[in-house]
Structure 1
Amino acid sequence: MTDDTKPVESLLPYDRWTEDAMREVALRALDHAGAHGLPGDHHFYLTFRTDAPGVQIPGHLKARYPDEMTIVIQHQFWDLKVDRAAQTVSIGLSFGGVPAQLSIPIAAMTAFWDPHVRIGLRFGPVAEAEDDEGEAALPPAGDLPGEAAEATPAEPDAPAQVVSLDAFRRRPSRD
């Protein structure tokens, strides 16, 4: 017997809600690091589209990474802030010893990875649609207070790569 039933089309935007929830996980991790520093061996790789509207990075970085860039938030960073009202993440980093301030729209983020705990998230484009209550996909919230920890990001040597979440899933051991 075959199952010839067609999948039911949802009238609820579950795909968008799931995408928003995954972005929120990354934003909370960034909020925490900005307010309290990075605990233990945690560090983050944040990949974003450099060609997305609103991205503000120095010209030499834009020239080197015209489409996509991955930053490492680990040893030297400052002023890490998630501004939900402006829908941006801002951070100060050094590239080859030269300090730079980056402003990344949340919509430009394509991946977030914390290799210490093997958590990887991959994002698609942010939907411009509003939910049924007329709110934006990521509602404004207060920033966490606190100082950023001092740390040094490693400058990527090669163009950024987005890694599938499947590569980081734990598989049960087969004994």
Structure 2
Amino acid sequence: MPRTIDYGNLMHRAMRGLIRDVLLDVQDNGLPGQHHFFITFDTMHPDVEIADWLSDRYPDEMTIVMQHWYDNLDVGEDGFAVTLNFGDNPEPLYIPFDAIRTFVDPSVEFGLTFKTQDDDGEDDEDEIELEEVEVEDEAPREADIVSLDSFRK
């Protein structure tokens, strides 16, 4: 089989690196201005670390919000740890970057969506969609999406 450039996986790694860089900046300097994040992740990822009651309540995916209160943000090479408040109950979480399904900063209408597809029975491939997000009542709405599928053969 001839060698090809795997743009999909290269873009996947680059976008995960972008999320890491953003979180490193927040770790060092805090959230600037009105910036805040909605991060949806796969709770079944083998390296996710969350309390049992959270995994029972969110058996597939969970969305966290980093905005007014978060603590102990520690960004590593493969993921990040953060303590968030759930009903006045602080809970530590560890989320690998590979577990992230969406990363949205509605304050600047920026969002990334990572989807895994297994339509043709081959190995799962990650598809990355870049989206502009508008905010209504602090929740992301549907927006224009640019799919990387158009760059694949």
| Equivalent residue runs for 1:130-141 within 5 Å | none
Q: Does 1:73 align with 2:39?
A: no
Q: Does 1:57 align with 2:50?
A: yes
Q: Which has the higher contact order (CA 8 A, sep 6+)?
A: 1
Q: Is the 8 A contact 1:49 1:68 kept in 2?
A: yes
CA deviation string 1:104-163 (max 9, x = no partner) = 1111111100000000001245xxxxxxxxxxxxxxxxxxxxxxxxxxxxxxxxxxxxx9
Distance apart, 1:11 and its partner CA: 0.4
| Equivalent residue runs for 1:36-115 within 5 Å | 36-84=29-77, 87-115=78-106
Q: Does 1:35 align with 2:46?
A: no
The letter for the 2-side match of 1:165 is E
The letter for the 2-side match of 1:110 is R
Structure 2 gaps of 5+ residues are 117-128, 133-141, 146-153
Distance apart, 1:169 and its partner CA: 4.2
Query: RMSD between aligned alpha carbons?
Result: 2.1
Distance in 2, matches of 1:113 and 1:43, equals: 8
Distance apart, 1:10 and its partner CA: 6.9
Q: Please identify which structure carries the higher helix content.
A: 2
* Alignment correspondent of 2:121: none
Q: Is the 8 A contact 1:27 1:82 kept in 2?
A: yes
The letter for the 1-side match of 2:63 is T
CA deviation string 1:74-123 (max 9, x = no partner) = 01101112110xx1211011100001100111111111000000000012
Distance in 2, matches of 1:24 and 1:164, equals: 14
Pair member with larger Rg? 1
Distance apart, 1:168 and its partner CA: 3.7
CA deviation string 1:29-50 (max 9, x = no partner) = 1111111110000000111000
Please identify runs of 4+ aligned residues in structure 1 that moved more than 3 A.
166-170
Structure 1 gaps of 5+ residues are 1-8, 126-162, 171-175
* Alignment correspondent of 1:121: 112
Q: Is the 8 A contact 1:80 1:92 kept in 2?
A: yes
TM-score computed with the length of structure 2 as normaliser: 0.74
Distance in 2, matches of 1:22 and 1:169, equals: 18
Q: Is the 8 A contact 2:101 2:115 kept in 1?
A: yes
Of all paired residues, the percent bearing the same amino acid is 38
TM-score computed with the length of structure 1 as normaliser: 0.65
Partner SS state of residue 112, structure 1: strand
Which one of the candidate residues 7, 10, 30 is aligned to 1:14? 7
